[in-house]
Amino acid sequence: MVFTEQEALALVMVALDDADELVGSALSKVIRALPEKVGRQAATLRDHASAAPDPYSARPDPATTSALGTASADRRSVRMAYRSESGKESEKEVDPWAVVVRHGRWYLLCRSHRSDAIRTYRVDRIGAVHQTTGVFEPPDDLDPVAALEENLGTGREYLTRVVFDAALSEVARWVSPPMGRLEESGDGCVLIGSTSDPEWYAQEWLARMPFGFRAEGGPELRAAVTAMAARFTAAVEP
């Protein structure tokens, strides 16, 4: 099987968007194995094109990703080390339903044994992975991508509840699944979710919302919004 010129260039373009040294090394080996004409075109693109990789993407450890993929395929439960967004270390025992890539980040969609609920974990924050003797059967109607989108905003350490003074249809355009679930509430709507980093939630998400809002909970998010408001107020004081 031989790569066409278009296939080879497409492969280089994907690799250029990844600053990982291991990917660069693998790409060099692939280029050397290509027919001379195709390899020359691919090498020229690699050597002279510049790329600014997505700063929000996160490349997980290949061995960790492989271990999770194998466990998912074998339908074997795993015990794994995990570091949350806030830096908290813990051990999780889960049924690894699927590994899903979303916007440059890799996630494990799974069922947590401890909470008996669907959870999503960033694969780049997962440490050692060990298969256990447990086995599992994923839901028959499982859509990994849809399930990931639905559950990204749940299961974090700190609960969040934000009320907006605007219609749900207007706010929905500014809300992504990791922020939580939108519901109708009186004349406006309420966003219910959770986060591992209340400061990030306040500064990177709520601060850009073009609507009036009230952070009703939890206490960690309220404290983060209070601190953000004080900093912004100080910025315009004489």
**pLDDT tens column, 185-222:** 888 999 999 988 899 999 989 999 999 999 998 999 99
Which tokens go with 11? 């492969």
Which tokens go with 88? 């908290």
Q: What is the CATH number of the domain that holds 121?
A: 2.30.30
Identify the three-state secondary structure at position 59. Answer: coil
Q: What is the pLDDT of residue 2?
A: 64
Identify the three-state secondary structure at position 149. Answer: helix
Question: Is 152 within a domain?
Answer: no
Question: Is 150 within a domain?
Answer: no
The segments of the chain whose pLDDT lies below 70 read 1-3, 5, 9, 14, 16-20, 45-46, 48-57
- Domain of 99 in residue numbering reads as 62-142
Q: Are 163 and 215 in a shared domain?
A: yes
pTM of the complete model beyond 0.85: no
Q: Are 124 and 173 in a shared domain?
A: no
Q: Are 38 and 81 in a shared domain?
A: no
- Backbone dihedral region for residue 78 (phi beyond 0: left; psi -120 to 50: alpha; all else: beta): beta
Is the separation of the CB atoms in 80 and 44 below 8 Å?
Answer: no
Q: Are 83 and 43 in a shared domain?
A: no
Q: Are 167 and 231 in a shared domain?
A: yes
Q: What is the pLDDT of residue 178?
A: 82
| Tally of structural domains, the chain | 3
Question: Is 100 within a domain?
Answer: yes
Which candidate, 64, 34, 52, places its Cα nearest to that of 129?
64
Q: What is the pLDDT of residue 16?
A: 64
Question: Is 55 within a domain?
Answer: no
Q: What is the pLDDT of residue 229?
A: 94
